[in-house]
A and B are shown apart, each in its own frame.
Chain A
Amino acid sequence: MNAIFEVLFEMFSYTFLVRAVIVGLLVSLCAALLGVSLVLKRYSMIGDGLSHVGFGSLAVATAMNAAPLAVSIPIVVLAAFLLLRISENSKIKGDAAIALISTASLAVGVVVISMTTGMNTDVCNYLFGSILAMNNNDVTLSVILAIVVLAMFMLFYNKIFAVTFDENFAKATGVKTGVYNMLIAFLTAITIVLGMRMMGALLITSLIIFPSLTSMRVCKKFKSVTLTSAVISVVCFFIGVVISYVYATPTGASVVIINIIAFGLFWLVGTIKDKKGSFLGMGNKLKKRCVGYGDFGTLLCAFNKLCRTTER
């Protein structure tokens, strides 16, 4: 236990790590909240497309010597609205259009980078993220934007639920669904840009997709899915950063690996929970005989009890 605290103390003596963790935790929180709605609306790929657009805009910003966030945010927000319009328009197939836009911006980004700084570690950092990417201005801006995203999400939670669950009904009861879809896309675009340089353009989508899918394995209410995915996301990010510090692995990839493990665990718990009915029946039959079976019997009884408590 002491060893863990020592590592944490050592970690947080570096200001760049403190900055990265603050921004990272806020971005994971925003991404997880928005992710629930995006996954359920079948918009997961929009997030992926946006991160590629973000890569292109970052490259352009670096070439122009401009502030990366100031250039990227408007471009990615614009792309988000465009992608949303495309996926609502049935005449053009949404997934193909997203693939088109994301590869196009990837190509632009790579060409711009090779013309300016050359294909070096910068490209690697953009694609897979770097913990060193944050300076003080970025942190201030990121914290403000993350708080805006959180506040908007809480304020419009009920509307976002209605638009996610049943757009037709929401529209019929006078909710401006187009506005809320834009709001979701807008908040997603900001979140992606904020998290992209740390997580990497290729990996940032995982922050959006994984936590919500993980919590959906077990949770059955929209509210609990949302809250659980927020907790999962924050915890996974923190563990991922610590591991990347201790083992000197890339931060973004480490966070994703922890998310994969969490997904596996929750999937297992979900499967056991679904089969609980049959386990319970089996447990009841075995209950009377438990005494005669020694340790194995006691174990079964304990498992049976556990199932009953989780059911409540």
Chain B
Amino acid sequence: MALITCNNTAFAYEGNIAVSGLSFSVNAGDYLCIVGENGSGKSKLIKGLLRLKAPQSGTVLMGEGLKANQIGYLPQQTAAQKDFPASVYEVVLSGRLSARGIRPFYTKHDKQIVAENIKRLGIEKLQHRCYRELSGGQQQRVLLARALCATQKLLLLDEPVAGLDPIVTQELYRLIEQINKDSGLTVIMVSHDIASAVNYASHILHLQGEQVFFGTTDEYAKSKIAARFLGG
């Protein structure tokens, strides 16, 4: 049984179908990149996978005991966060919230997991710094650590490299690849950057208001639609 299976699924926005004909499955350990232009339905699909939005038709099935609140989500940053007074440690710790449920306070176990993930992403030196004083790349690392605290199975990244310079972008891609390979964590990433997607991902899902391609990266590279977008 796959981790996530969509079966002829469609999502709507205010009554209009935003994206339809979604039929794909994600297995444990996969690295799926969702590509497509603005308005192609990527963010609707993300909301659907997080169970924040019910599908208009079809189904989204979760297998292997995955629950929607066990997805490590890295959302796009909001304007309010840019001047938010919080320490890196506080931000990462909030990733354990889903494990808390109704109980109000964090436990020693939570703090241990936070310490592990802070170490894993190499941000120990930053942990007492203020979040708003970090560079864009450092902030993304912090949010990635927070996402890792929330999951043991699946990371869902919404355009993680938006607004970063090329060097930091490559670093972040490598970091995500490392997390995927070393820990066997499944990664689903939304991206505009098709060239990098082809470099790093194992599977590609291409959207254009509907599903136009789903398959392995090798198949994608040979397909007509990729040729059009990769300019080759």
Residues of chain A whose beta carbon lies under 8 Å from any beta carbon of chain B: 40-42, 155-159, 161-162, 165-175, 216, 219-223, 225
Contacts and interface: CB of A to CB of B under 8 A. Distances in A.
A220 B130 contact: yes
A168 B78 contact: yes
Interface string B72-85: 01011010110011
Given A40-B80, A158-B97, A174-B68, A169 B75 contact: yes
B223 interface: no
Given A158-B106, A172-B75, A174-B68, A220 B87 contact: yes
A169 B104 contact: no
Contact of B87 (A42, A157, A216, A221): A221
A41 B80 contact: yes
Contacts of B71: 172
B150 interface: yes
Given A159-B97, A166-B78, A173-B73, A40 B104 contact: no
Nearest to B77: A166
B108 to A, nearest CB: 15
Contacts of B119: none
Contacts of A165: 81, 84, 86, 91, 94
B78 to A, nearest CB: 7
B218 interface: no
A223 B98 CA distance: 20
Interface residues of B, number: 34
A72 to B, nearest CB: 30
B7 interface: no
B90 A223 contact: yes
A225 B101 CA distance: 25
B94 to A, nearest CB: 5
- State the 5 A-B residue pairs at the shortest beta-carbon distance, nearest first: A174-B69, A220-B130, A173-B98, A172-B73, A168-B75
Contact of A221 (B78, B90, B146): B90
A173 B130 contact: no
B104 A222 contact: no
Contact of B105 (A158, A170, A225): A158
B28 interface: no
B195 interface: no
11 contacts: A158-B97, A159-B104, A166-B78, A167-B78, A169-B147, A170-B97, A171-B52, A172-B71, A172-B156, A174-B101, A219-B85
Contacts of B100: 158
Contacts of B87: 220-222
Contacts of B81: 165-166
A216 to B, nearest CB: 5
B50 interface: yes
Nearest to B151: A173
Contacts of B50: 171-172
B133 interface: yes
A161 B78 CA distance: 15
Nearest to B50: A172
Contacts of A161: 86, 90, 94
B68 A162 contact: no
Contacts of A174: 68-69, 98, 101
Nearest to A161: B94
A138 B97 CA distance: 38
Given A166-B78, A173-B73, A174-B68, A221 B97 contact: no
